[in-house]
Amino acid sequence: MDENLLSSEPELEKQLETNIKQGLTTEQVELKKTQYGLNELPQGKMTPWYLIFLKTLIEPILLVLMGAAVISIVAPIISNGGHVEASEFIDAAVILSIVLIDAVLETVQTIKARKSMDALKSLSKPKAVVIRNDMQQEIDASELVPGDIVVLEAGKYIPAELRIVESNDLTIDEANLTGESLPVEKTHLPMKETTTILAEMKNIAFMSTFITSGRAIGVVIKTGENTEIGKIAKSINENEEESTPLERKLNSFTYWVSGLSFVLAILIFTTLFFSGSKDAWANYLMVAITLAIGVIPECLAAVVSITLSISTKKMVKQNVIIKKLQAVETLGNVNFICTDKTGTLTQNKMTVKKMIMDNKILESKEYAKEKNDNHMDLFLKALVLCNDSVTEGNERIGDPTELALVDYAEIIGYDEQDSRDVWTRIDEMPFDSERKMMTTVNNVNGVNTAFTKGAIDQLLQRCSKIMIDNVLRDITDEDKKVLLEMSNNLSKDALRVLAFAYHLNYDKLEDKDDLEHDLVFLGAVGMIDPVRETAVNAVQLAHDAGIEVVMITGDHAVTALAIAKELDLAHSEYEVMSSDTLNQLDDKQLLRVIEQIKVFARVNPEHKVRIVDALKQKGNITSMTGDGVNDAPSLSKADIGVAMGITGTDVAKQASDIILTDDNFETIIKGVNEGRNVYQKIKRAIAFVIGVNLANVLSIFILSVINSVSPLEATNILWMNLIVESIIALAMGMGANDPSLMKIKPIKGKNSLFKGLGFTLFKIILFTTIASIGAYYFGMMFMTQEELRVILRNQEYNGTWHQALRDSSIHVEDKIEIGDYGRTTMFVAITCAPCFYANTIKLSNWKADKKLDLIVNKPLWLASMLAICLNLIAIFIPGFNDKILNLTEVTKYNSTNWYLIPGAFAIALFPVIFMLILDGVVYATYHYKPDPWRRNRILAQELVELDIIKEKQKRKSKKKVNQ
């Protein structure tokens, strides 16, 4: 801040070329408009819908799928010598449809989130009262220029950055900018020393902050992007959007799958070429490419998008707006939540919590139940009459502390407007920062009575009497000592203490200056911006889920620590760091202590960014929550930014990934739960798809090497991948959430999508491969010698079907026909076995508890039954089964082979049976026969948890005693 702008009025007029009394002339305004432009915040670039759509199409996994679609067209053309039929385009059409569905879903979700965010805009204050050409007039705030003289009053937003030149009892709520919960007293006096801390610039009014009380005149010193809020908005717009952890993992996964499919294609083609007939190279190429495509999870992109889309719809009902689909999963992986205090953990509403009454500390709720005697009557009159705040419906104008007083009085039955109408104000002494008191004189039932409120230490110096238990007596030094000690105890708990007194001798006073002397002490209140009741529970849920919650606030350390203790966030001053200490630490020093600090107090916006950056450097997935302009840079910097929808500024919403429409910290934890379940569902789908695909490729590769011909056709594999697999994988994302996931600690640092999937993949690949190969050989048992001779058109042939498949002199087309029975039973196994075991692929926290909570996924059961029905239809529809899928014709079934299909179904049940048996053995061993090392670890963990419970109980008991 330029020192001249903080100094005297003549220097201010000279620098800004203005006249504080008369304002700017019309000519000066037009000239300055050309020089400075409009007083508007910089807007972020709005990406049009078609660019969002095109951007989704160039994501790695979709590019691979489009490449697979092209190959599925080119391969048949090569194998058929340039001839191609319309049916060859079916595979490409299905793959491209999946690509388009995914792109459309993500585009629609992004646009919907943008519309929802626009609907939440709340800080639109377009008018300002200015003095121009020596006349007062109202103009659009966007028309303001440096040098304009602006008239300010309570209940208005500051339209630009102003240097205050006249003020009367001016307080401004700067929580949106600085994070400080209490309004700041402002002055028009020049500042002797410059400061970089915004909250200490006492003669500057910042754009978009709110006037809670008083009146003032200010001169515009900065507009638009040059203001503090403008600088923040500009920095947000210049930030490059980072990809989410899920996007990075999916991209890495795509490269891995692409490389694997390429290697498999070369390996399979080489193996078939050298083990079979060289003349059939085109067929081998087709098989190799088909199997390579078979590894690629064509449905995965759609599974991810649909699963995320379903979750975003659920979260809208839970008051969460997701601006980007992948942000759901990121929220699930968060292990540090950095949150603003005011309005997020607290109610952003000062509330009377304690009373000093009759030389005792009382709970405000208990005092409200007491009998309304003369003492209470006078005290309540003091609350509402010595007060300038106004509440009417949803409109609340005034200082938050004064609003808290009338709110409390209203609970007991005193309405401030009715009271002021009955007991009219006839005189007053406004609040003064030197006196630290305010006095009003009201006509109470014909008697002019003075009511005074102020700092308790100042007020006690002016009191000669005290009212205790409804009895008036002289106040003693001992009384004052006890009252001050009580006040100090409340202050240690971060309560703001305000004392009240009265006297009846107004008419006898010779000098108004004597109005605040010879007072009768009535009592005092302790006020605080209380924590949300739901926030306490939410913090506990976060801790149970292994998530650290860090409070970052502009408030003083004492206030912040008191709130942190109530939330069970921090318990000692060693867990609190102020901005002064933070400024003294270099980046290396901060990294060493960053994870031990639970409260950061008195911070500026740049401090928040530094804190988030340090946590990210330590490998943490970090979320930042907030509502103010001061939160916007850190919201943008965090892995996941969460803005408040009700109290949040437009800048904060613009910088965030997620918006809470109820401003409730507990909603974030619901989002974490949803995010963890989304990630788990996606991992289940990946385990299922990759496991099944690799099992199919492995079984086909083994049988191809043994028999020198592929046991399945390309259409069989594509049916499996695009029909059966897709139906089941999509249904995996539609099931109910698993609450046990909120008991698992998030994995710190980078971790692959395959982390924790090794055992699941092993089971799927092993048992499915065995079942597939077994089903093939079971089917080939039905190949008779007579049928073999008919296919080979050789009545003298005495070899087995296996010898015929290995014979290089036999045409590939004949070998394919020979394998009809084996192909049919193997087709049943590979398409039906996944339908049976899809419901057993659980990645829930079964290690945490011996009790198993079975979660039934109804959509998955229905999808599995649908897939089995489709398989049956495919097997028995004439023409489709033999012409397209190359399965056994219906006419070939007879009394000797009628159990071919039932037998194949029985083999398809083997994988799920063996998986359940293996899971049961592992579960029983883990819980009932743990190894010595893990048994000792369990005992140690139980002791630690017991100590934590005892410590919490001790703190609660101590808190009750203090109360």
Task: Kindly list the catalytic residues.
Answer: 340
The token duo for 530 is 């209380």
State both tokens at 731. 């249904």
Query: By CB neighbour count within 10 A (0-12 exposed, 13-18 middle, 19+ buried), where does 870 fall?
Result: middle
From residue 588, how far is each of 337, 482, 585, 593, 607 by CA, in Å? 22, 48, 8, 9, 15
**Nearby residues of 85 by Cβ (< 8 Å), 6 or more positions away:** none
C-alpha span between 897 and 894 (Å, rounded)? 6
Q: Which residues contact 944 (CB under 8 A, 6 or more apart)?
A: none
Helices (H) and strands (E) in the chain, counts: 36, 26
Coil/strand/helix, residue 499? strand
Count of beta carbons in the 10 Å neighbourhood of residue 241: 9
In Å, how far from its chain's centre is CA 74?
Answer: 45
Could you give the CA distance from residue 519 to residue 752 in angstroms, rounded to a whole number? 72
Q: Taking a C-beta distance cutoff of 8 angstroms, is the pair 186, 203 a contact?
A: yes
The alpha carbon dihedral of 745, 751, 754, 757 has a sign of negative
Q: What is the DSSP string of 519-552?
A: EEEEEEEEEE-PBPHHHHHHHHHHHHTT-EEEEE
Give the Cα-Cα-Cα angle 812, 813, 817 (nearest 5 degrees): 115
Identify the CA nearest to 666 among candidates 528, 529, 542. 542
β-pair partners for 440: 428, 451
Phi-psi map region of 213: left, alpha, beta (phi>0 left; psi -120 to 50 alpha): beta
Distances in Å between the alpha carbon of 945 and those of 416, 440, 543, 619, 843? 51, 56, 12, 26, 25
Report helix angle 557-567 to 477-492, nearest 10: 70
Distance in Å from the first CA to the final CA of the chain: 45
Contact 437, 428 (CB under 8 A): no
> Rounded to the nearest 5°, which phi and psi values hold at 930?
-70, 150
| E strands, 580-619, in order | 599-601
Q: What is the 3-state secondary structure (H, E, C) of 793-847?
A: CCCCCCCCHHHHHHCCCCCHHHHHHHCHHHHHHHHHHHHHHHHHHHHHCCCCCCC
Residues 160, 5: contact at Cβ < 8 Å?
A: no
d(CA 830, CA 330): 34
For residue 565, how many other CB atoms are within 10 A of its CB? 18
**Half-sphere exposure for 436 (CA within 13 Å, toward CB):** 12
Helices marked H in 369-446 — which ranges? 374-385, 400-412, 416-422
Query: At a CB cut-off of 8 Å and minimum separation 6, what does 638 contact?
Result: 338, 612, 616, 622, 623, 624
The tokens for 546 are 């292994």
Which residue has 């290089």 as its token pair? 808
d(CA 148, CA 150): 6
Q: What sign for the dihedral angle of Cα 917, 918, 921, 926?
A: negative
Sign (positive or negative) of CA dihedral 701, 705, 711, 714 = positive
Say how far apart CA 101 and CA 94 lie, in whole Å.
Answer: 11
Report residue 689 as tokens.
């798809």
